[in-house]
Structure 1
Amino acid sequence: MTRYSLLDLAPIAPNQTTADALSAIVGVAQAAERTGYERVWYAEHHNMKTIASSATSVLIAHVATQTSTIRLGSGGVMLPNHSPLTIAEQFGTLAELHPGRIDLGLGRAPGGDLNTLRALRRTPHDADTFPQDVQELQGYLNDATLIEGVNATPGRGTHVPLYILGSSLFGAKLAAALGLPYAFASHFAPAALTDALAAYRREFRPSEHLDQPYAIAAMNVVASQSAQRAHDIFREMLRLRLKTMFLRPEIASTLSDEDLDQILDSPQGMQVRNMLKYTAIGTAQETGDWAERFARETGVDEIIVTHQAADVSERIQSVELFGEAMREK
């Protein structure tokens, strides 16, 4: 059976508050735990009105107290925004509080635009030291710090497992060079998936942490009792993504659903659809079969999925339906 996990962005749906979105992540994680998911990851984003997962370590700490067995982690922490010591202390604390349940996925993107980068007191050049920062962080979490006289407390000796995240060949090659697991963001950036996985496997060097490549690929899922309802939810998601990512607010607010559908069905709308190339839509059986084919064709060891329904009850239902279908395979 292919391992399957969950990526939760704590989405803030239209007519929903941030508090509502954060309250929902507990029920989503509990549903994932009930239905056999390997882990739940939260992704660091900033200055995005529709995403509430900016403070990943805080979300992990909260959900860990409301669950008992499922692994929890970041998917990921954008390391150039932080000092490696700070992240080691945060995730070392989580590991001490919840032994054997904490993951640390790392990315080098800022998680926001240039204005956000300035607000974070960072520059684009901070990403240039990402490989060295990963190794420094690794030293703090293991038993041998790379910075003489500086140890992470909590952190040292926790051996929190690191994962390199990416959507290009850079992350794939870095994960291979360091002998770490690699997760590809194919749920929104599918173009380089095949090349990145090939580069990772070809260049992988065994390490004390991993003796052979371990690859994860992300995909979207919209599962419902009715295939028609699943396709309706997906259409709603496409409209929302078009409005929030591709149209100026003053224009988006004037467009009807019919107007948005016309744009989505035009050649210009293909950019939105192409982002979501790897999406399973339909009943539990249909989405499970789709995911199994995706795992087989990519050869990944694990898939990590985002459930796209805006309504919390429909999102939890999608989590459960897909989980049950995968557990039966």
Structure 2
Amino acid sequence: MSVNKKLADIPFSVLDLAPVVEGGTVTESLQNTLDLAMNAEKWNYHRFWLAEHHNMPGIASSATSVVIGHVAAGTSTIRVGSGGIMLPNHSPLIIAEHFGTLESLFPGRIDLGLGRAPGTDQLTAQALRRQHGSTGEDFPYMLQELQEYFDPTLNPNVKHVRAIPGEGLNIPIWLLGSSGFSAQLAGELGLPFAFASHFSPENTLPALNIYRRSFKPSNVLDQPYAMVCVNVIAADDDETANFLSTSMQQSFLNLIRNKPSKLQPPVEDMNNIWTPYEQSLLEQRFQTSLVGGPETVKDKLQTFLDDTQADEIMVNAMIYDHRERLRSYEIVSELSK
């Protein structure tokens, strides 16, 4: 593991949830997603990932593969992928075909990040999984099946249905996690690992330790490669950034209240909205979130890198105003040069 890494030493990437803002439409959200991706490419971000969530009024990326195609078609060099596809929601064959199609359309630019959570509530999970009833416990077997669609030589004794497109294509597979399960599995299989510190900060260092301890070299990686996703709300000064961050706080507050909503405009004082107990819950949830002006965020990012020794940092910015969101990502790109 490297030591004394600097921000300029590692790649930075983007996680986009295609946020639907209060007063906005899904069409506008997907237009903003492409605009952000085009700017992220210009600012030399390494990847642009989209996440699968369902039954969420404020997230427009539920048909993740479709949105990946939309973004990849409007860009030319940035890697585009899933952060992630929730594999238990799908047949592995379908995912092999979807991503085989994307890789065939955009060669060498597609990533396949996989998670085992439903990405939604239990009622919606039942609607998604009605045909095969997966609970996520069979994730390792679904992963193996998916890998064999891409490379049938992994299990030559079994005659598979063929994934066309998909078979024979080299599409990087990442495991995503917010706890230790996928960290250990990624390590044992020698796969790259992406950790969701943006909503599971307390598990970040334990999961990274599990991944690195359990890592076994593979034909994919000789040594562990960990990307960590973190919330960053950057603006031209601390006061503006703190104001903008209240949209993110309201979003998580509504999830805690089991009332998911569109992304709300920022407010001057969250004390008018949350209770002291809710405030303490959110402060715990956001303990690794980085909010501030350029120098503040630079210092916090370096501390985060020192703590995690991440090989790559992925940035999530839940900001109501699209222009302010662009500015946040632009500031981070300047800090990482």
Question: TM-score, normalization: structure 2?
Answer: 0.90
> Could you tell me whether the CA contact under 8 Å between 2:90 and 2:129 is conserved in 1?
no
Pair 1:46-2:54 in alignment: yes
Deviation at 1:257, TM superposition (A): 5.8
In the other structure, the counterpart of 2:178 is 167
Deviation at 1:265, TM superposition (A): 6.7
In the other structure, the counterpart of 1:132 is 141
Cα RMSD of the aligned pairs, angstroms, is 2.0
For each residue in 1:134-168, what CA deviation from the matched residue of structure 2 results, as whole angstroms up to 9, or x when unmatched? Answer: 11111212352645142211111111000000111
Deviation at 1:177, TM superposition (A): 1.1
Q: Distance in 1 between matches of 2:11 and 2:171?
A: 20
For residues 73-152 of structure 1, the aligned pairs below 5 Å read 73-122=81-130, 125-144=134-153, 146=155, 147-152=158-163
Pair 1:201-2:209 in alignment: no
Residue from 307, 310, 313 that aligns with 1:303: 313
Provide the secondary structure at the position in 1 that maps to 2:221.
coil
Amino acid aligned to 1:38: H
CA spacing shift, 1:124–1:89, aligned 2, 3 Å: closer
Deviation at 1:241, TM superposition (A): 2.7
Pair 1:31-2:31 in alignment: no
Q: Distance in 1 between matches of 2:267 and 2:79?
A: 39
Unaligned runs of 5+ in 1: 251-255
> Could you tell me whether the CA contact under 8 Å between 1:264 and 1:270 is conserved in 2?
no
In the other structure, the counterpart of 1:246 is 256
Amino acid aligned to 2:148: G
In the other structure, the counterpart of 1:253 is none
Residue from 303, 307, 316 that aligns with 1:293: 303
For each residue in 1:261-295, what CA deviation from the matched residue of structure 2 results, as whole angstroms up to 9, or x when unmatched? Answer: 25647243211221121111122333233212211
Q: Which moved more, 1:43-52 or 1:293-302?
A: 293-302
Provide the secondary structure at the position in 1 that maps to 2:20.
coil
Deviation at 1:133, TM superposition (A): 0.9
Q: Distance in 2 between matches of 1:276 and 1:261?
A: 16
> Could you tell me whether the CA contact under 8 Å between 1:223 and 1:281 is conserved in 2?
yes
Amino acid aligned to 2:298: G
For each residue in 1:202-248, what CA deviation from the matched residue of structure 2 results, as whole angstroms up to 9, or x when unmatched? Answer: 11111111111111111011111222111110123213432x21336
Q: Distance in 2 between matches of 1:85 and 1:109?
A: 19
Amino acid aligned to 2:161: V
Q: Distance in 2 between matches of 1:52 and 1:138?
A: 28
Amino acid aligned to 1:208: N
CA spacing shift, 1:143–1:288, aligned 2, 3 Å: farther
Provide the secondary structure at the position in 1 that maps to 2:112.
strand
Provide the secondary structure at the position in 1 that maps to 2:149.
helix
Q: Which moved more, 1:188-197 or 1:258-267?
A: 258-267
Q: Distance in 1 between matches of 2:273 and 2:238?
A: 24
> Could you tell me whether the CA contact under 8 Å between 1:8 and 1:42 is conserved in 2?
yes
Deviation at 1:69, TM superposition (A): 0.4
Q: Distance in 1 between matches of 2:86 and 2:134?
A: 14
CA spacing shift, 1:322–1:134, aligned 2, 3 Å: same
For residues 174-213 of structure 1, the aligned pairs below 5 Å read 174-213=185-224
Residue from 320, 326, 329 that aligns with 2:330: 320
Question: TM-score, normalization: structure 1?
Answer: 0.92
- The alignment-based identity, stated in percent, is 45
> Could you tell me whether the CA contact under 8 Å between 1:2 and 1:295 is conserved in 2?
no
> Could you tell me whether the CA contact under 8 Å between 1:220 and 1:307 is conserved in 2?
yes
